[in-house]
Amino acid sequence: LGWEYDDNIALEPIDENDLYADEGDHFFSGYVFGTYDLIKTDTLVMGAGYGQYCTLHDDLDEYDLTASLFDLYARYRLQDYTFAISYNPDYYWLDSESYLCRNEITTTISREFDRFLTEFSYNHQRDNNMYDSDQDGYANEIFFRCQYALPEERGALRAGVGYEVKSADSDDYDYDTVSTELVATFRTWWKVYLGLCGECEVQQYDHANSVYGKKRDDTKYTGNV
């Protein structure tokens, strides 16, 4: 459960006359997710999961979002290697009306060393946007991350870099994205851990926007404690 205040509620345009809300609002969010291992052995795990997410705005209830999130997964361990695959069909509603259907397939290969864990993943995503068919399309992403466990369970360090290519029905939404992450976790007192996370995402569009006539290059920085 969570509460948030956003001083500029921004979702993809819900109609031609109101591109963005351009005003702030309070909203509550709720999220629940569970999984069950149907098969579980020393080397193989297969199961399914389901999650539900929703937001409830104080004034701008037309921006209330609901999502049903499904997960089918399998993991196979071979000595120090782990091979995993998951399929995630997700469905979103905006103000109780169908908004987005998304299907994702993710494959992952990870390798464990003494204190290191390395992971390489490939993700394929397909979107069917009920509000804006120009955004229908697919994306392919590769991501590499490594993690180092500090001695005596004092914490961990993690770094990652990814590259994504998005192709949509409209040239306005074709772009390439490079993303990086740095995460540090430290044990403090009474086995309480402090986590510091920094992310940078650079998004370069392939074409000039058909409405504004300009080519977008977006950079987003995110920090979490």
Which of 187, 162, 189 minimizes the C-alpha distance to 176? 162
What's residue 12's pLDDT? 60
The tens digit of pLDDT for each residue in 126-145 reads: 999 998 888 899 999 999 99
pLDDT digits (tens, 9 = 90+) for 169-215: 999 999 999 999 999 999 999 889 999 999 999 999 999 988 888 88
Longest CA pairwise span in the chain (Å): 58
Query: What is 46-112 written as a DSSP string?
Result: EEEEEEEEEEEESS-GGG-EEEEEEEEEEEEEETTEEEEEEEEEEEEEETTEEEEEEEEEEEEEEEE
Mean pLDDT, the chain, rounded, equals: 93
At residue 41's C-alpha, the angle toward residues 35 and 47, to 5°, is: 25
Contact 135/146 with Cβ under 8 angstroms? no
Strand-by-strand arrangement of the 175-187 sheet: 2-6, 25-40, 44-57, 65-78, 81-94, 97-112, 116-129, 137-149, 155-168, 175-187, 193-205, 217-224
Q: Are strands 97-112 and 65-78 parallel, antiparallel or unpaired?
A: unpaired
Q: Is the predicted pLDDT of residue 19 greater than 80, yes or no?
A: no
Q: Residues 46-86: pLDDT tens digits?
A: 999 999 999 999 998 888 999 999 999 999 999 999 999 99
Residue 225 DSSP one-character state: -
Its pTM stands at 0.87
> In angstroms, rounded to a whole number, what is the distance separating the alpha carbons of residues 213 and 209?
5
- What percent of the chain stands above pLDDT 90? 80
Helix (H, G, I), strand (E, B) or coil at 152: helix
Q: Which residue has the higher pLDDT, 29 or 132?
A: 29
pLDDT category at 20 given cuts 50, 70, 90 is low
